[in-house]
Amino acid sequence: MSRQQRAGSSTRPDKDEVAARADDLALDGVRALMGGSVWALDDAVVDLVTLAHATGGRAVVEQTLTTRLRLALDERWRTGWQPMDLHHLVGRSARHVRAEPETVTRVVELLGDVMAADLAAYPRARVEQRWHDQLELAEASVWWSTTDSCLTARVGQWGSEAIGYEVALRLEHVLRSLPAMQQLGARPGEATSRSASTPVDVDDKVLARVRQLLAKAESTPYEAEAETFTAGAQALMARHSIDHAVLAASAPAGGDERPDGRRLWMETPYVREKVMLLGAVADANRSRSVWAKEDGYVTLLGFPHDLDAVETLYTSLLVQATRAMHAEGKRLDWRGGSRTRSFRQSFLAAFGARIGERLAEVTAAETAQAAEEMSAAGGRELVPVLQERTEAVESYVEELFPRVRHVSMSLGRDREGWDRGRRAADQASLQWGRAVGS
């Protein structure tokens, strides 16, 4: 009996039989995508729709497809992926299977539904907060009635079983095609409550203040006003990090704080130059960055407070650099041809290099001052504390990336772009907290 005949049989099989047939047909569809056969995919979708209607088992078919997606998602969790990783990559990967833009959008929407449903199944305390934060960033939540599957809800919204089933098969194909990544933090269901010995935050509201002040720094058109924020920025970041390091070191058994990691997905254009800027900010804040060039993301490694500082300041500096770069306008060579791209590459490279110098200078000065204050107060020596944390970060890098390579990057060949970029970096606000003299 052919697959079509089995799907459209006049007998009414029980739920288990419908589920088994739906599972077989879904596997056919995923294999069709792996083989690049659009026709075979269409056949699988038609057969699934026929099965759902002929047996009166639409809910069973859709639950089966949803279960397959949950299993594929669980495999991704176990191979290092997190919600925002999938949110970024699935859209790109979906295009590789020749989907129309509208279908790509639906694949991403269904991914958000499956992730939200999966994380909701775990006790809240067993899932690290970062996972829920990433779901929020991806605008994913359980918006449908829990009596239905998320696929059933989407089919109702899209108005077609065929569309819903195709989207489900495409999503499963993408999920099963992704390679393993480095595991950062605990997987869902494996998180543990923080130890009572963990030191409290130096100031839980620091990041909120920082973002407000950075928004002002980014919006001001006056260079002198932006410069007012410069020196106090990295100084407050460095002191925040130092204070937290001392608290952690003074806790019983040194507390349980450990280095952590985050992935930042880099957007085109000028990815290399953005990576250089991010690396400069990370180095100045006792963190490390590892660029997965082919995959388009950077892994930041360091202690949580330092990573907060890196992400916040990098985002602000990128906004400032981009604004300053575009304010320079376009460039032409002596033949009248465009050299805008080379100018902007050199501009951003110089901006990142100079920012790195400025951050390092301020961090060194703040560290020296903090060390003097601690010594005068008869407290613990600061240098060994910071050295221990640096060594812990380096060890974590080696653990996750045993084959990482250090490479040099070109700083650009456009002299004017280089000069303009360094000038913009000198005028950039590095503000983390209060303005100097405020």
As a whole number of angstroms, the distance between CA 4 and CA 213 comes to 63
Give CA separation, 413 vs 320, 332, 333, 343, in Å: 22, 15, 13, 8
CA distance 238 to 363: 6
Q: Phi/psi at 418 (nearest 5 deg)?
A: -65, -50
Q: Give mean pLDDT, residues 328-337.
A: 84
Average pLDDT over residues 278-302: 93
pLDDT of residue 299: 97
**How many residues in total does the chain contain?**
438
Q: Following DSSP, what letter does each residue of 271-292 receive, concatenated?
A: HHHHHHHHHHHHHHTT-EEEEE
Flag whether the pTM goes above 0.85. no
Query: Which is nearest to 275 in space by CA: 259, 297, 294, 260?
Result: 297
Q: 138 pLDDT exceeds 80?
A: yes
Amino acid at 215: A
Which of 365, 367, 354, 350 lies closest to 411 in space, CA to CA? 350
Model pLDDT, residue 376: 79
Assign 390 a pLDDT band (cuts: 50, 70, 90). Answer: very high
117 exposed, middle or buried (CB, 10 Å; 0-12, 13-18, 19+)? buried
Query: Residue 216 has what pLDDT?
Result: 56
> Structure tokens of 353?
């290099």
DSSP state of 264: E
- pLDDT beyond 70 at 343: yes
The whole-angstrom separation of Cα 381 and Cα 202 is 19
pLDDT of residue 156: 96
Strands in 79-232 per DSSP E:
none
pLDDT of residue 235: 53
d(CA 311, CA 285) in angstroms, rounded, equals 11
- Higher pLDDT: 75 or 97? It is 75
**What mean pLDDT do residues 8-18 have?**
75
Residue 238's pLDDT band (cuts 50, 70, 90): low
Q: Greater confidence, 298 or 428?
A: 298
Mean pLDDT within 138-159: 95
Q: How many CB atoms lie within 10 A of CB 92?
A: 13
Mean pLDDT of 150-178: 96
- The alpha helices in 55-100, defined as continuous H runs, are 58-78, 83-95
SS3 (DSSP) at 413: coil
| CA pair distance 303, 245, nearest whole angstrom | 9
pLDDT at res. 97? 56
Give pLDDT tens digits for 58-96: 999 999 999 999 999 999 999 999 999 999 998 776 666
DSSP 297: E
Tell me if residue 292 falls in helix, strand or coil: strand
More reliable by pLDDT, 14 or 62: 62
Quote the CA–CA distance of 244 and 236 in Å, as a whole number. 12
| Residue from 322, 327, 330 nearest 348 by CA | 322
Which helix (H) or strand (E) is 43 found in, with range? Answer: helix 38-54
What is the reported pLDDT for 195?
A: 32
Residue pair 142/38 in contact (Cβ under 8 Å)? The answer is: no
Decide if pLDDT at 57 tops 70: yes
Lowest-pLDDT range of 1-15, 166-180, 292-306, 398-412 = 1-15
Distance between CA atoms of residues 236 and 69, nearest Å: 46
Q: How confident is the model at residue 1 (pLDDT cuts 50, 70, 90)?
A: very low
Residue 323 pLDDT? 79
CA distances from 249 to 52, 292, 381 (A): 61, 33, 11
Share of the chain above pLDDT 70, in %: 78
pLDDT score at 252: 59
- Across the chain, mean pLDDT equals 83
Q: Which of 213-222, 236-245, 310-319, 324-333 has the lowest mean pLDDT?
A: 213-222
Return d(Cα 134, Cα 1) in angstroms, integer.
47
SS3 breakdown of the chain: % helix, strand, coil, rounded to 5? 65, 5, 30
User: For residue 273, what are its two tokens?
Assistant: 């130059």
Q: Is the pLDDT of residue 379 over 70?
A: no
